[in-house]
A and B are shown apart, each in its own frame.
Chain A
Amino acid sequence: MPREAEPSLNERAFVIQALQEGQRLDGRAFDQFRKLDLKFGDQYGVADVTLGKTRLIAKVSAEVTTPYTDRPFDGIFTITTELSPMVSPAFEVNRPTETEVLLSRLIEKTVRRSNALDLESLCLVAGQKCWSVRVDLHVLSHDGNLIDASCLAVVAALRHFKKPDTSIEGDAVTIYTAAEREPVPLSWLHSPFCVTFSFYGENGEITLIDASLLEEQLRVSSCTISLNKHGEICQVAKLGGTPVEAISLIQCASAAVNKVKEFSTLVDTKLADDLKRRDKGGLMAELSAENER
């Protein structure tokens, strides 16, 4: 199995020296993200996120299945991530690397375990039929900070997604095509986003946001905080590495709130733009069978 190419000694020494002088390689401030762009596809539930040179596509699909026997009232929600050899020769098909395992685990913890998607609303007939919602995350190019970008892609895709409308009479479930009835959005409770901090220096005294691939390879430890725009923290992951002062973790958390608010506004505006683009002739409100909550 090919290992990830390591940066040379010169790069290591220089990046650290530059950070100690307050400079980043691409001239960004320490708490500045690269150019973040979000696009939606023609289909519902396709989000394309570009963060600098990192690019990902998330696609949501839904099908009707039988629920798990121990959870008859809940739907099924799965997130799968894929890091293909297209991203880097260090990744292989069907053999997840540590990066991939950590990525899917963090996304899972952030989106699924924080109950962002109301699973009970996916139930059609208790114990017999439910929706199974699946998010496929494809990484197209990797230039660092996959976690933040993929979390944004997953959340944006799920909020953009609409599942076919259904009606139930007794045990018979009718699924309507898009031509018969306008599809309905998922019942979405809150939008969590991840912000990853990278620490440098002997005691982790330098903190960076949105590290590029090279910066990621050289960090002494990292910390991912997931929270929504109301400041409710869903999870904090600091997996090994150099210990960091408690004070700087608190500073990270407060910086994360501001970043998440920016993400939240970005997703909201992009979704509104997309809705406007689709809503030709203003018929969308009339077509929808949804009730105000």
Chain B
Amino acid sequence: MATQGDRVSVLPGDEIPASLIPSHPKRALKLGPGLRHVPPSELIPTVAGQLVTDRKKNSIWVEYNGGRYIPAVGDLVVCTVQRSGPDYYFVTITEYSSNAILPQLAFEMATKKTRPQLNHGALVYARVCLANRHMDPELECVSPTTGKADGLGPLVGGMLYDISLGMSRRLLMRKSVEEGKVAVLEELGSAGLAFETAVGRNGKLWVNSDNVKTILIVGRAVKETDDGNLSVEQQKKLVRKLIKEMS
């Protein structure tokens, strides 16, 4: 186990000291991905990564970058429509894995007559609403309680980039600059570029803008940050370089 600043890195099989495990008087301890509970009270990491704890929620997990996306309920994903069935669209969340289903009525204001017509290859931003181990996952583009889309739905135009799963988690963090250490999107925005993005937990980033060059800059900035594992300072430098190059 290595500690660097406030970050703790673990290897599979490491011992986790009790001081790092959160203890809450009322809530039960929640284990996230990458940890295994050996009764009665031992916790063993199963992957190499950064140990993260949330004392408020009384949860602990290992943040790692790699592997294949496994759908979990509540995740936002960018998926591709493969074909349309009588009541469902069959979509892929990850290439070369089995299809997920997206009901044709699971869009905002969709009725039998007003449902969106999606062709093979169209992109949809959706939420996973059912994910069981041996079943195809089910998606939705509308909140079942409010009936609002909340930004979900078909993605028109723009460009899709493949990013690592770790990068997509970092981008989706509530405070992505402080916690996730990704400042590229904020930097690009403050440099005066107008664009919109949709981040899928399945390692997809959709970028749209009126200007082709803006899309290219955003895509390259995020991909290079991801590939090079750049720090916040380096990201700022990269953004300045890219903007200079493209203008």
List residues of A whose CB falls within 8 A of some B CB.
2, 5-15, 17-18, 21, 23, 25-27, 89-90
- The docked-state distance in angstroms from the alpha carbon of A90 to that of B95 is 10
CB contacts (< 8 Å) of A26 on chain B: these are 220
Identity of the chain B residue whose Cβ is nearest the Cβ of A9 in the assembled complex: B121
Q: B198-241: contact bitstring with A at CB < 8 Å (1 yes, 0 no)?
A: 00000000100000110110011000000000000000000000
Q: B242 to nearest A CB, angstroms?
A: 8
Stretch binding the partner chain, chosen from B23-31, B32-40, B154-162, B182-190: B154-162
- The answer to whether A25 and B122 have CB atoms under 8 Å apart is no
CB contacts (< 8 Å) of B96 on chain A: these are 2, 5, 89-90
Give the total number of A-B pairs whose CB atoms are below 8 A apart.
54
Identify B220's interface contact among A8, A9, A27, CB under 8 A.
Answer: A27
CB contacts (< 8 Å) of B219 on chain A: these are 25
User: Does B111 sit within 8 A of A, measured CB to CB?
Assistant: no
- The answer to whether B95 and A5 have CB atoms under 8 Å apart is yes
User: Does B150 sit within 8 A of A, measured CB to CB?
Assistant: no
Identify B160's interface contact among A2, A10, A18, A27, CB under 8 A.
Answer: A10
Identity of the chain A residue whose Cβ is nearest the Cβ of B94 in the assembled complex: A5
User: Does B245 sit within 8 A of A, measured CB to CB?
Assistant: yes
User: Does B106 sit within 8 A of A, measured CB to CB?
Assistant: no
CB contacts (< 8 Å) of A6 on chain B: these are 121
User: Does B119 sit within 8 A of A, measured CB to CB?
Assistant: yes
- The answer to whether A11 and B159 have CB atoms under 8 Å apart is yes
Q: A24 to nearest B CB, angstroms?
A: 8
CB contacts (< 8 Å) of A89 on chain B: these are 95-96
Provided the pairs A25-B219, A89-B96, A90-B96 are in contact, do residues A10 and B158 lie with their beta carbons within 8 angstroms? yes
CB contacts (< 8 Å) of A15 on chain B: these are 159
- The answer to whether A8 and B122 have CB atoms under 8 Å apart is yes
Identity of the chain A residue whose Cβ is nearest the Cβ of B79 in the assembled complex: A8
B87-114 interface (Cβ within 8 A of A): 92, 95-96
Q: B80 to nearest A CB, angstroms?
A: 5
CB contacts (< 8 Å) of B121 on chain A: these are 6-9, 12
- The answer to whether A14 and B215 have CB atoms under 8 Å apart is yes
Identity of the chain A residue whose Cβ is nearest the Cβ of B92 in the assembled complex: A5
Provided the pairs A5-B96, A8-B123, A90-B96 are in contact, do residues A18 and B155 lie with their beta carbons within 8 angstroms? no
Identity of the chain B residue whose Cβ is nearest the Cβ of A19 in the assembled complex: B212
- The answer to whether B216 and A27 have CB atoms under 8 Å apart is yes
Q: A97 to nearest B CB, angstroms?
A: 14
Instruction: Give 8 closest A-B pairs by Cβ, nearest first.
Output: A5-B95, A9-B121, A89-B96, A14-B159, A8-B121, A8-B80, A8-B123, A18-B212
Provided the pairs A14-B158, A25-B219 are in contact, do residues A9 and B213 lie with their beta carbons within 8 angstroms? no
Q: A252 to nearest B CB, angstroms?
A: 25
Identity of the chain A residue whose Cβ is nearest the Cβ of B80 in the assembled complex: A8
Identify A18's interface contact among B80, B122, B123, B216, CB under 8 A.
Answer: B216
CB contacts (< 8 Å) of A13 on chain B: these are 157
CB contacts (< 8 Å) of B216 on chain A: these are 18, 23, 25, 27
Q: B120 to nearest A CB, angstroms?
A: 8
Identity of the chain A residue whose Cβ is nearest the Cβ of B242 in the assembled complex: A27
- The docked-state distance in angstroms from the alpha carbon of A18 to that of B119 is 23
CB contacts (< 8 Å) of A5 on chain B: these are 92, 95-96
Identity of the chain B residue whose Cβ is nearest the Cβ of A2 in the assembled complex: B96
- The docked-state distance in angstroms from the alpha carbon of A25 to that of B245 is 14
- The docked-state distance in angstroms from the alpha carbon of A5 to that of B79 is 13
- The docked-state distance in angstroms from the alpha carbon of A10 to that of B204 is 13
Q: B83 to nearest A CB, angstroms?
A: 12
Q: B221 to nearest A CB, angstroms?
A: 11
